[in-house]
């Protein structure tokens, strides 16, 4: 288990980078820190790696202290692997040389065996003698992964590992990398700014903003039961629709009564804003409720549509690419949320 408690950090005293961050990550789990650039997620990762010395707080890995008020274990003694955003492959060493770099303590034959094993795991067996500059970006990333995993680290850190790869390749690598990490039984903490990457990889997902960890939960929970507007907006598209709490699990809106399980108890009669994700707005020609199609973006399997309600407010909906509507059409819709994500109008 990785345990972070009350981590605070600042590069200069005026502006805190991390503010009282704590989290738990179980052995063998993949955790992902999500947030806009500058939110402190990379700094947190560097604190865990030992490259930064947090001003306050403690870090514990499998029961032993990495950082406490009395102790600071330097990076080179933590046995934590890291995959850097730019991969940081050593240009003067071959692929095998890179993978063997961290295996100094083993005998030569043992080093080579382990490197061969790791290259096989990441599917680069034929590239042992190649040099980093001869490889594609995706291959370099897998070398970096093999290198980080070779010394059997107690924890693997990955800093935006897919940021430099082209989109088509990324989706496939998510699956590959997740399989490799689970197969190795690694405990992993990943930093990312891309929600899709986070949802594809993570067992545990955290959203950070301005140095604070706003939520740390299972990905499904973060998406459907966000604890703040920022988290709700950051992890996926959606529109806020004003309404009034009509009772337990019911919110009255201009699109009728929304029913579902609320993410937190709401006081009856209070004005709230309800989050409508595109999949919460369902096309239904028999519905008396109509909305004007303002714009639609073809996404292959479906359209992401912007709809204007009679009040002038806009909501999003995903429409099947079978449906054939043009901009300006009035479409029948109804509400179909299963989770009510609503915040009182006065809440931040």
Partner 1 sequence: MNATADALTPQQARARRRQAGGRGWALVGVLLALITLVPVFVVIGSFFQLDSELWGHLRTHLLPQVAANTLWMSLGVVAGTLLLGTGLGWLVAVCEFPLRRFFSIALLLPMAVPGYVMATAMVGITEFDGPLHQLLRVFLGSDARPWRLSGLGGVVFALTLVLYPYVYLLARNAFLSQGARSLEVGQSLGASRLRSFFTISLPLARPWLAAGALLALMEALADFGTVAVFNYDTFTTAIYRAWYGMFSVQSALQLSGVLILAVIIVVIAEQRLRGSRLYTSLQAGGAHDPRPIVLRGSLRWLATLCAGSVFMLAFLLPAIQLIAWAAPNLARDFDARYIGFARNSLVLAAIAAGLVTALGLLLAYATRLSRPAALGRITARWATLGYAFPGTVLAVGVFVPVAAAGDGINHLLALLFGEQAGRVVLTGTLFTLLLAYCIRFLAVAHSPLASQLQRITQSLDEAARGMGETGLGLLRRVHLPILRRGLLTAGVLVFVDVMKELPVTLMIRPFGWDTLATRVFQMTAEGEWERAALPALAIVAVGLIPVILLLSQTERRNA
CA distance 270 to 276: 18
Cβ proximity to partner 1: between 110 and 310 the closer is 110
Query: Which positions from 219 to 248 touch partner 1 by CB under 8 A, shown as an x/- string?
Result: ------------------------------
Nearest in space to 30 (alpha carbons), one of 137, 188, 160, 142: 188
CB of 91 to partner 1, least distance (A): 6
Nearest in space to 240 (alpha carbons), one of 347, 321, 319: 347
Cβ proximity to partner 1: between 73 and 210 the closer is 73
CB 22 within 8 Å of CB 8: no
Cβ proximity to partner 1: between 103 and 319 the closer is 103
CB of 101 to partner 1, least distance (A): 6
CB of 72 to partner 1, least distance (A): 4
CB of 75 to partner 1, least distance (A): 5
What is the phi/psi pair of residue 210, to 5°? 45, 45
CA distance 266 to 223: 19
Cβ proximity to partner 1: between 144 and 235 the closer is 144
CB of 64 to partner 1, least distance (A): 5
CB 94 within 8 Å of CB 129: yes
CB of 306 to partner 1, least distance (A): 37
Nearest in space to 83 (alpha carbons), one of 1, 151, 141: 141
Please give the residues from 82 up to 121 whose contact with partner 1 meets the rule CB under 8 A. Answer: 82, 84-86, 88, 90-93, 101-102, 104
CA distance 155 to 1: 9
Cβ proximity to partner 1: between 67 and 309 the closer is 67
Query: Which positions from 58 to 87 touch partner 1 by CB under 8 A, shown as an x/- string?
Result: ------xx-x-xxxxxxxxxxxxxx-xxx-
Among 151, 195, 243, 262, binds partner 1 (CB under 8 A): 151
> Helix 108-121 vs helix 167-184: angle between axes, to the nearest 10 degrees?
130
The 10 Å Cβ neighbour count of residue 198 is 27
CA distance 88 to 164: 13
Query: Which positions from 26 to 65 touch partner 1 by CB under 8 A, shown as an x/- string?
Result: -----------------------xxx-xx---------xx
Cβ proximity to partner 1: between 163 and 282 the closer is 163
Cβ proximity to partner 1: between 153 and 243 the closer is 153
Residue 126 burial (C-beta neighbours within 10 Å; 0-12, 13-18, 19+):
exposed
**134 binds partner 1, rule: CB under 8 A:** no
CB of 31 to partner 1, least distance (A): 18
CB 164 within 8 Å of CB 173: no
The site that binds partner 1 (CB under 8 A) totals a number of residues, namely: 36
Cβ proximity to partner 1: between 70 and 285 the closer is 70
Bridge partners, 206 (sequence order): 33, 216
- From the DSSP assignment, how many helices (H) and strands (E) are in the chain? 8, 23
152 Cβ partners below 8 Å, 6+ apart? none
Cβ proximity to partner 1: between 54 and 226 the closer is 54
What is the phi/psi pair of residue 162, to 5°? -110, 5
CB of 45 to partner 1, least distance (A): 11
Tokens of 226: 């966000």
Binding residues vs partner 1 (CB under 8 A): 49-51, 53-54, 64-65, 67, 69-82, 84-86, 88, 90-93, 101-102, 104, 147-148, 151
């Amino acid at each position: 288990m990785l345990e972070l408690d009350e981590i605070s950090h600042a590069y200069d005293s005026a502006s805190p980078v991390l503010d009282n961050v704590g989290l738990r990550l179980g052995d063998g789990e993949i955790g992902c820190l999500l947030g806009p650039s500058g939110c402190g997620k990379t700094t947190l990762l560097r604190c865990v790696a030992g490259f930064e010395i947090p001003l306050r707080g403690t870090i514990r890995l499998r029961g032993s202290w990495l950082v406490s008020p009395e102790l600071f274990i330097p990076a080179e003694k933590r046995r934590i692997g890291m995959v850097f955003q730019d991969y940081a492959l050593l240009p003067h060493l071959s692929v095998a040389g890179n993978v063997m770099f961290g295996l100094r303590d083993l005998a030569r034959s043992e080093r080579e065996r382990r490197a061969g094993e790791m290259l096989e795991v990441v599917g680069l067996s034929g590239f042992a003698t190649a040099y980093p500059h001869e490889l594609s970006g995706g291959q370099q990333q897998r070398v970096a992964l093999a290198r980080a995993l070779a010394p059997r680290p107690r924890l693997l850190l990955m800093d935006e590992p897919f940021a430099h790869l082209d989109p088509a390749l990324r989706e496939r690598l998510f699956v590959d990398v997740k399989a490799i990490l689970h197969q190795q039984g690694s405990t992993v903490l990943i930093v990312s700014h891309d929600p899709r990457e986070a949802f594809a990889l993570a067992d545990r997902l955290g959203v950070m903003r301005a140095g604070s960890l706003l939520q740390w939960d299972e990905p499904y929970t973060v998406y459907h039961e966000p604890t703040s507007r920022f988290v709700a907006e950051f992890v996926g598209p959606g529109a806020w629709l004003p309404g009034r709490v009509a009772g337990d699990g019911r919110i009255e809106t201009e699109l009728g009564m929304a029913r579902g399980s609320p993410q937190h108890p709401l006081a009856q009669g209070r004005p709230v804003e309800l989050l409508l994700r595109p999949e919460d707005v369902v096309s239904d020609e028999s519905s008396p409720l109509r909305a004007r199609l303002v714009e639609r973006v073809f996404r292959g399997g479906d359209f992401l549509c912007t709809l204007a309600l009679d009040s002038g407010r806009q909501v999003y909906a995903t429409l099947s690419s079978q449906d054939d509507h043009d901009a300006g059409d009035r479409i029948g819709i109804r509400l179909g949320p299963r989770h009510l994500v609503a915040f009182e109008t006065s809440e931040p």
